[in-house]
A = this chain, B = another copy of it.
């Protein structure tokens, strides 16, 4: 890397990333299979000519998708945003991972610790027939779901609670307290979606809430029971963990959104080349 001056300060890059979770062991590197992190870091290392570490906003589980995951990496190699995007996407082929935007940010920005909100969408295909076009992207629930009952149940989960009943045994968070800012049920044809937003979630929290809301939607549990489940603070009180393939990380929020202004090289490499070419 003759262009890289030894000891020069590295540039931090915020990356917006889309991926299909199928075929990955999740975001995080693991010995038992390919992770999204490994694919991204390998591509960045090829560009940098040296190992590159990434920090991510949402460590999605195996099979979970992302429409707008955020990660950051530090690169010594000078590069324009559109070129960085193109190079990473080239090197990540043929994997179903794509960098959508890249923005040069200051060293204080952390994709993980600067994040003030995570948004997830859980999609359920609610019809008798199994999925064809939505295969691998939905939980297939054959019997009709009562969206109004699910929305009523969801209201009990809003706000700050001890979410122990919705927490995986493997969860490493220090506290089971979380503040749920949004939990909406939306129906679009055969697809029923659960939209959840919080500063952060416990491990499996969204999938465990989805499994519980489906119990309500099927009429097996009254909406009011969700309050009892919360109060029990016991994982055995809640419903099953919904399958990973229905879950998508849709957005990460920052108090100052690095992708909000026109500095991104991603939205349109043509229109924004003037700003994208300078760091």
Contacts and interface: CB of A to CB of B under 8 A. Distances in A.
A143 B96 CA distance: 21
A270 interface: yes
B270 A129 contact: no
A52 interface: no
A247 interface: no
A123 to B, nearest CB: 12
Interface in A35-85: 65, 67, 82, 85
Contact of A129 (B67, B248, B266): B266
Interface stretch (A130-138, A165-173, A195-203, A237-245): A130-138
A278 interface: no
A133 B144 CA distance: 27
Contacts of A85: 128-129
Contacts of A100: 127, 129
Interface string A74-111: 00000000100110010001001111100000000000
Contact of A20 (B133, B248, B266): B133
- Chain copies in complex: 2
A19 B133 CA distance: 6
A267 interface: yes
A130 B143 CA distance: 37
Contacts of A18: 129, 132-133
Contacts of A67: 133
A269 interface: yes
Given A100-B127, A127-B100, A19 B270 contact: no
A10 interface: no
A275 interface: no
24 contacts: A18-B132, A19-B132, A19-B133, A20-B132, A65-B133, A82-B128, A85-B128, A89-B129, A89-B130, A93-B130, A96-B132, A97-B132, A98-B129, A98-B132, A99-B129, A100-B127, A127-B268, A128-B268, A128-B269, A129-B266, A133-B248, A142-B269, A143-B270, A144-B271
6 smallest CB-CB distances across A and B, nearest first, come from: A98-B132, A18-B132, A98-B129, A128-B269, A96-B132, A100-B129
